[in-house]
Structure 1
Amino acid sequence: MIGVAIPIPDPHGALLQRKRASFGDPLAGAIPTHITLLPPTEVDAAALGAVEAHLRAIARTERPFRIRLRGSGTFRPVSPVVFVALAEGIGGCERLQARVLSGPLDRPLDYPYHPHVTIAHHLPDEVMDRAFKDLAGYAADFDVWGFSLYVHGGDGVWRPQHDYVFGSGSAAP
């Protein structure tokens, strides 16, 4: 099982992960703070080389762009998720996501793509309400340098395997 995402750099990523843990989200320690480009996807081990070549080709032709996180949002009642919203960088994420979900990673999605940073998932309504209110004034800005390939371990933890740096296509473990 793999995923592709834009990692949220520290100190923002670490702060949002601590916030997620403070709401009692059991996945807080298993999922690094990120903006999803490819949701959890099963890939045959024999196809991994083609997937990595695909991701290198995408990174080679992309350029850094700015992300501005502002406030909170939710997908409730459709999906039990509270998130930090993007105020800038949505177009860059959408372009990147469309490119990632092509070629060897072409697959249908359960929901239309909406870039966000999850901070609470499948928790009681009162906790979701608290998360929404607690991060309503949140703000952070950073430049996206590239994206990462993550692998879901047997222990349930998502771990970055390779970083794909924009402009170079390099994949660093």
Structure 2
Amino acid sequence: MPADTFVGMPAGQAGGGVRMIGVAIPVPEPYGTLLQRTRASYGDPLATAIPTHITLMPPTEVAAGELEAIEDHLLGVAHSERPFRIRLRGSGTFRPVSPVVFVALAQGIGGCERVQAKVASGPLARPLPFPYHPHITIAHHLPDDVMDRAYKDMSGYRAEFEAWGFSLYEHGLDGVWRPQCDFLFGNGKRHSTFNG
């Protein structure tokens, strides 16, 4: 089972013409910020470096010259899809296999799986180190008592939103994951901030 799939590598390790990217469905406001603050409240040092998300492609090293083809590929994926509902309900964990507590999806799993399979094709086709399981990490690699508390605290959590598309993220030299392009389901339009 996956650990936090947007951890990446130590800042500055991907250098030269190599970029560290990931693809995910962002969790919209107010839920995104609230869940990020909740994660920070458990003392998770990654909370401020990783925007709240549902991973579609874990951290992946690519050559800078591949980014245009990757963006074109993701544009095609987005164009082939339509928005779908995601309902979050309760907590889950990958322990003891992986030290993660997460908010679980009660609706939208099939949509995430379908989009993930399309994303992980073409220029992004590569074997995954774990079976795909859409979730939102709330605690990662923390002491057992903290993980237990997070699991209990989030057991009654509920939220619902529409997945409008997904974003392409880059792992910065400061260790922070930032969205670089948004891909909208249906029309596929994107906004890109990649700067070469």
TM-score (norm 1): 0.99
- Structure 2 residue runs of 5 or longer lacking an equivalent are 1-19
Q: Partner of 1:155 in structure 2?
A: 174
2:181 maps to amino acid: H
- Between the aligned partners of 2:184 and 2:191, the Cα distance in structure 1 is 8
Q: Which residue of 1 aligns with 2:137?
A: 118
Q: Which residue of 2 aligns with 1:74?
A: 93
The CA distance in 2 between the partners of 1:125 and 1:106, in whole Å, is 35
Which among 114, 122, 126 is matched to residue 95 of structure 1? Answer: 114
Is the aligned partner of 1:42 residue 2:61? yes
- Specify the code of the residue in structure 2 equivalent to 1:12: Y
Q: State the distance in 2 between where 1:13 and 1:107 align.
A: 29
Distance 1:73 1:86 in 2: 9
Q: How far off is 1:77 after superposition?
A: 0.5
Q: Matched residues in 1 for 2:191 and 2:138: separation?
A: 28
Secondary structure of 2:110 counterpart: helix
Question: Shift of residue 118 of structure 1?
Answer: 0.3
1:141 correspondence with 2:181: no
Identity %: 74
SS of alignment partner, residue 93 of structure 1: helix
Deviations 1:125-152 (A, max 9, x none): 0010010001000000000000000000
1:78 Cα offset (Å)? 0.5
| Structure 1 stretches of at least 4 aligned residues deviating more than 2 Å after TM superposition | none
1:8 paired with 2:38, answer no
| C-alpha distance in 2 between matches for 1:30 and 1:79 | 20
* Residue number among 72, 78, 83 corresponding to 1:59 in the alignment: 78
Displacement after TM superposition at 1:111 (Å): 0.9
What is the root-mean-square deviation in Å for CA atoms of aligned residues?
Answer: 0.5
- Number of paired residues? 173
Q: Secondary structure of 1:17's match? A: helix
2:183 equivalent among 160, 164, 167: 164
Is the aligned partner of 1:84 residue 2:103? yes
Q: Could you report, residue by residue, the CA deviation over 1:70-123 in whole angstroms, capped at 9, with x for unpaired residues? A: 000000001000000000000000000000000000111111000000000011
1:129 aligns with 2:148: yes
Residues of 1 paired with 2:73 and 2:115: CA distance?
12
Letter in 1 for 2:68: G
SS at match of 1:42: strand
